Amino acid sequence: MDIDLADLRAHPSSDVFEEVLAEVADDVRELVGVGEVADYIPALARVPADRFGMAVADLHGDLHTVGEADRPFSIQSISKVFSLILATQRFEGDLWDRVGREPSGDPFNSLVQLEHECGVPRNPFINAGAIVIADVLSSCLADPLGELVALVSELAGAEIPIDGEVARSEASTGYRNRSLANLMKAFGNIQGEPDDVLDIYFAQCALTMSARQLATALRFLANDGVDPASGHRVLDVEKARRINALMLTCGTYDAAGEFAFRVGIPCKSGVGGGIVGVIPHHLTACAWSPALDRTGNSVAGRAAIEQLVERTGLSVF
Ligand code: GLN
């Protein structure tokens, strides 16, 4: 179809999104199932690879979907956005003494920089950084996991469950994450007991949400920190901008440069196959397809977000 881009930019809730999404699903059809599902977490290895769903939340509070947008999946590293939001809201110390704001250029579970950089992770979106954020949350909240689930549920407008089987499955095989937590403990950058902090981290990664719920929960990032449906301010504008900046530079691990180059919007991915993308002042999108590339990003999910940007002409640049 011919899309009137000027109209779409002027009226982001236009029905055009329905048609754009149908075309995007068509564009990526041949990529669905290309890649490998994450099998280093045994419970995730059973997820069928040939799934695809996508949702777009616009700034009028409307949702547009295609495919399996209501099928829940393991959000994995996308949970790192929610834990950072909670820490930004509730921690009164300087978070940035404990975790950096630079892309790592290394895989999400890499240990190498931590030794050279004295246990301070490069950013909150690699595993080491998210484990520090889990420690920060345990130091300032009586029930960090309960508060995180409450925040995610409130933002998504639904009770969001933790899949206990996925959490236990990762806990039983999470040797790298244990190494990261113990190394940071040795450098004094973890205050709690590493195993207790990891229990929170594994549980947050096992939050289970649909593309529709993720696009809904993070739509405030496209609207200067305010949920466009309820008018509720989740974060002040500077903090919301900073989360978007971190998503752009660090949200897809060692593929962040490639994402910025090809997709050009803030994105956060997880090894469950989800990718959330934010186009400030326009929309938040979530694509899901479980088969991943070598960097742990969904092949069809990335292509779908890229096609959405291409077809709408919306961009941060
Ligand atoms: N729970 C996963 C891990 O720690 C999260 C990684 C990811 O989604 N990139 O390895």
Q: Is residue 121 part of a domain?
A: yes
Task: Name every protein residue with a CB atom under 6 angstroms from any ligand 1 atom.
Answer: 76-77, 108-109, 127, 170, 177, 205, 270-271, 296
| Residue 80 annotated in active site | yes
DSSP state, 292?
B
pLDDT at 16: 83
Separation in Å, CA 183 to CA 41, 50, 130, 138, 175 = 22, 38, 14, 18, 12
Split at pLDDT 50, 70, 90, the class of 38 is very high
Alpha carbon nearest to ligand 1 atom 2, residue: 76
Q: Which of 108, 132, 269 to mutate to test the pocket of ligand 1 (most atoms within 8 A of CB)?
A: 108
Contact of 114 with 121, CB cutoff 8 Å: yes
Both 63 and 87 in one domain: the answer is: no
Counting from 1 in the atom list of ligand 1, the atom nearest the Cα of 76 is 8
- Sheet with 267-269: list strands edge to edge: 63-67, 53-58, 283-288, 274-279, 267-269
Task: Give the total number of structural domains in the chain.
Answer: 2
Q: What is the 23 CA–ligand 1 centroid distance (Å)?
A: 30
Residues near 89 by Cβ (< 8 Å), separated by ≥ 6?
151, 234, 235
150 and 298 co-located in one domain:
no
Which domain does 62 fall in, by range?
A: 5-76+207-312
Structure tokens at 246: 């971190």
Same domain, 99 and 68: no
pLDDT in tens, 84-94: 999 999 998 89
Judgement on whether residues 88 and 183 belong to the same structural domain of the protein:
yes
CA of 154 to the centre of ligand 1 (A): 24
- The verdict on 237 and 157 lying in the same domain is no
At residue 3, does pLDDT exceed 60?
no
In-domain check, residue 191: yes
Residue 299 placed within a domain: yes
- Tell me the mean pLDDT in the region 214-226: 98
Where does a domain end: 163, 185, 205? Answer: 205
Question: Residue 317: inside a domain, yes or no?
Answer: no
Examine the domain organization and report whether 253 and 138 are in the same domain: no
Residue with CA nearest ligand 1 atom 10: 109
* Assigned domain for 125 exists: yes
Catalytic hit among 20, 37, 99, 253:
253
Does residue 201 sit in the same domain as residue 223?
A: no
Backbone angles phi, psi at 46, to 5 degrees: -85, -10
Mean pLDDT score, 163-178? 97
Per annotation, catalytic residue among 66, 197, 234, 271: 271
Concerning whether 185 is annotated as a catalytic residue, the answer is no
25 and 87 in a single domain? The answer is no
Domain final residue pick, 173, 205, 237: 205
Same domain, 191 and 252: no
Same structural domain, 53 and 104: no
CA–CA separation, 77 and 264 (whole Å): 20
Average of per-residue pLDDT across 54-70: 95
pLDDT digits (tens, 9 = 90+) for 238-274: 999 999 999 999 999 899 999 999 999 999 999 999 9
- Same-domain status, 177 and 289: no
Domain final residue, candidates 205, 237, 272: 205
Q: What is the pLDDT of residues 261-316, one digit of tens each?
A: 999 999 999 999 999 999 999 999 999 999 999 999 999 999 999 999 999 999 89
The token pair at 151 is 């925040």
Is 74 among the catalytic positions? Answer: no
My answer on whether 155 and 121 are in the same domain is yes
Report DSSP state, residue 44.
G
Residue 284, H or E segment: strand 283-288
* 315: its two tokens: 């961009």
Q: Is residue 181 part of a domain?
A: yes
DSSP 65-118: EEESTTS-EE-GGGHHHHHHHHHHHH--S-GGGTS--S---S-TT--HHHHHTT
CATH of the domain at 185: 3.40.710.10
3-state secondary structure of 279: strand
Per the CB < 8 A criterion, the answer to whether 10 and 289 are in contact is: no
